[in-house]
Structure 1
C-alpha cells in the first residue's frame, strides 16, 4: 500500500517506505508521545484538515504521500527538505534554509536531523 500510494503521488516509493517505517514501524495503531496517530503519524487536526482518516492505513498512506508530494514541490524537488518539513513543519524548514543556506539541516532539532538521515541514508 505504501509503495502504491507513493507511486500515485509521484514520489520515491523507496524513501516513502523508509519514512513510514521510521514513523510507525508500519503499526496502524501507533500513537506518539505528542499525540500523532496511525501508520503515517498524523496529528488529529492535520488529518482532519486534509480529510484523512489517520486510523485507516490506506487513507493515512494516501494522505501522507500526497502531503510529501506537496512538500517536495514546495521545496523545489528536495526530498530531504520535504522529509524535514513532514517532521518539523514547513515553517521550521524554511527558517532553517534562510538561516543556514546549504547547511540548513544543522539548523533543525537533532530529532529532525536524525529523521532525515535515517530515511535518506
Structure 2
C-alpha cells in the first residue's frame, strides 16, 4: 500500500476508534501503531508531530501570531474549531492539520501542511490575507476561511451555508472566551 494512503487510512481509523475516556490504546490502535511504524518510517515530509503536544501547539500559535500580527487567541480559536488542535486531523474534503489547510492553499503559502508549526503559520498567513482582502472584517474573513473567498464575494457576505454560519459563530465564541481569559495574554 502506498505510504501516504496507508497513513490517511490509519489517521481516519485512529480518529474514528479513539477511546474518549482513557489514555490507554486499544489493541486495534496498538496494531495500527506497530504497522505504521514498520511501513512509515519517520520522514521530514510527513512530520505531523512537529508540535504534537499542547505546549508545542500553543508555542507554534504564539510564533505565528508574532509573525502575522494576529491575536494568539484568534488563531487558537480557529485551530480549536478547525481540528480541536489536532495536528493529525484530515477532513473529508482533504484539509490537513491543526489549521485544516487544503493542499493547494498550503502549496501556495509554501508550507508543509503535515508539519504542525508550518501548518499553523500557513493558516495564520492565510487568515491574515483574508482579513486584508475583506478590509479587516473578521466575520467575512472567517467565512472565507471556511467556504472560500469566492463564496463570500458571490454572496456579498457570509454565504447562506449552515456549516459556514455555524463555523463563524463557533470561532467568534471561542475567540471571545480565549481573549477574555487571563491565560491568553
**Class of the TM-score when normalised by the shorter of the 2 chains:** 0.7 to 0.9
In 2, Cα distance between equivalents of 1:8 and 1:80:
22
Other-structure match for 1:31: 90
Deviation at 1:78, TM superposition (A): 0.7
Q: Which residue of 2 aligns with 1:62?
A: 121
Query: What is the count of residue pairs matched by the alignment?
Result: 114
2:180 aligns with none
Unaligned runs of 5+ in 1: 98-103
> Which stretches of structure 1, 4 residues or longer, exceed 3 Å deviation after superposition?
none
Q: Distance in 2 between matches of 1:115 and 1:84?
A: 8
Match of residue 151 from structure 2: 92
Which residue of the other structure, out of 69, 73, 78, is the alignment partner of 1:10?
69
Q: Work out whether residues 93 and 108 of structure 1, in 8 Å CA contact, stay in contact via their aligned partners in 2.
A: no
Deviations 1:8-58 (A, max 9, x none): 211222121110011111111101011111111111122112211001011
Residue 119 of structure 1: aligned partner:
171
- Partner residue, 2:80: 21
Question: Highest Rg: 1 or 2?
Answer: 2
Q: Which residue of structure 2 lines up, in the alignment, with residue 100 of structure 1?
A: none
* RMSD value, Cα: 1.2
What TM-score do the two structures reach when normalised by structure 1?
Answer: 0.87
TM-score in terms of structure 2 length: 0.59
Q: Using the alignment, how far apart are the partners of 1:92 and 1:66 within structure 2?
A: 20
